[in-house]
Amino acid sequence: MTDLDRRPLVVFLGSLAALSGGFVAVSAITDISMIALAPLYMFTPMLAGIATCIVGPPSFEAAGLRFPWNRLRWLAVAVVAPIVLVLLGTAVALGVPGVEFVPDANPLTGEGTEFAQQSEQEAPAGPSLPGWPWNLLVTIAAAVVFGVTINAVLAFGEEFGWRGVLLTELAPLGFWGASAVIGVLWGLWHAPVILEGYNYPSYPVLGVGIMIAANVAMSPVYTYVTVRAKSVLAPTAFHGTFNAFATTMIVFAQGGSELVVNPVGAVGIAVFGLAAVAIALTGTPALEREWALPAGGDTPDGDEPARARGPEGPDGDSGRPADE
């Protein structure tokens, strides 16, 4: 195994810790909740990644900051996959005892659910939707539009750090090792927001552990689309679309514990875990430091050999087998 280059890891993790700690301090001093600061907090991994690239290595391009012109289908996969996974999770959730299918709910406003934020006399805080199944189809279309636009801006704030810079520097650990480490760090990074009741309002402390488990389960899928697309834009599209569509599960499948019936709860962990198993069974892509750089074997459909033939990295490593 090639040794990790410690300097960029120290720069990235040190910068991220300082930036994240700064947000927690501002929250404590100003009494502004971390949930309210979350949209800005999401950019801390990106800023840590930028600092790391400035110090170098990696370069911005080596960290996946490039448009995958020859691998556009993987951008499409990154948009469609989270919708499929959330729908699969919703189907699984409906099999949980005590969970009820609410077909006429409005995922955009929460109308028809316990999440509706208006009184009976007030109009819904958002667009009205037709009944089933058109409400689902409209929600899917909205999730795609918002997922690759507004949500993508916020998602890029995370993904350039996690799947761009950190994935590049952890590449010597291999696909599964790097995904696991990133998943743990990704989950821990969410802790300040989770502890204030985000995602698991009734279980803020236990929720931190559940979020770590969810992020570990999700991480291989994010890594997969990243490496296949050779661009950090793929996980950005995945993340943005997932965030836009995830509440569909708890709107259409109502009831049950928030630790279970939740896209980042037990159901979500199970579904992403199955996706990770599918990746393992169908062929894990190679992960090396030059994963994002165009290589001689780069093809439009993204089906490169198990061991890429990119240029050697700073430590002379030319890649490693995929099955690590």
Give 81-112 pLDDT, tens digit per residue. Answer: 999 999 999 999 999 999 999 998 888 776 65
Helix axes 233-245, 150-159, angle to 10 degrees: 120
Task: Assess contact for 58 and 21: CB atoms under 8 A.
Answer: no
Please tell me the distance from the alpha carbon of residue 113 to that of residue 33, in angstroms, as a whole number: 26
Residue 298: its pLDDT value, please? 56
Q: Which amino acid is at 182?
A: I
Is 306 domain-assigned? Answer: no
Give 156-198 pLDDT, tens digit per residue. Answer: 999 999 999 999 999 999 999 999 999 999 999 999 999 999 9
Is 324 domain-assigned? Answer: no
Is 296 domain-assigned? Answer: no
Residue 280: its pLDDT value, please? 97
Beta bridge partners of 253: 101
E strand intervals along the chain: 100-101, 253-254
Of 215, 122, 114, 107, nearest in space to 166 by CA: 215
Centre a 10 Å sphere on the Cβ of residue 98 and count the other Cβ atoms it contains.
10
Residue 2: its pLDDT value, please? 62
Is 187 domain-assigned? Answer: yes
Coil, helix or strand for 149? coil
Centre a 10 Å sphere on the Cβ of residue 143 and count the other Cβ atoms it contains.
26
Return phi, psi of residue 101, to 5°: -80, 125
Is 291 domain-assigned? Answer: no
Q: Which amino acid is at 37?
A: L
Is 219 domain-assigned? Answer: yes
**Is pTM, for the whole model, over 0.85?**
yes
Chain-centroid distance, C-alpha 100: 28
Concatenated DSSP letters for 131-161? STTHHHHHHHHHHHHHHTTHHHHHHHHHHII
Is 64 domain-assigned? Answer: yes
Is 131 domain-assigned? Answer: yes
Ranges of residues in the chain with a pLDDT under 70 are 1-2, 110-127, 296-324
Residue 297: its pLDDT value, please? 47
Number of domains within the chain: 1
Show the domain range for 78: 6-282
Please tell me the distance from the alpha carbon of residue 146 to that of residue 320, in angstroms, as a whole number: 37
Coil, helix or strand for 120? coil
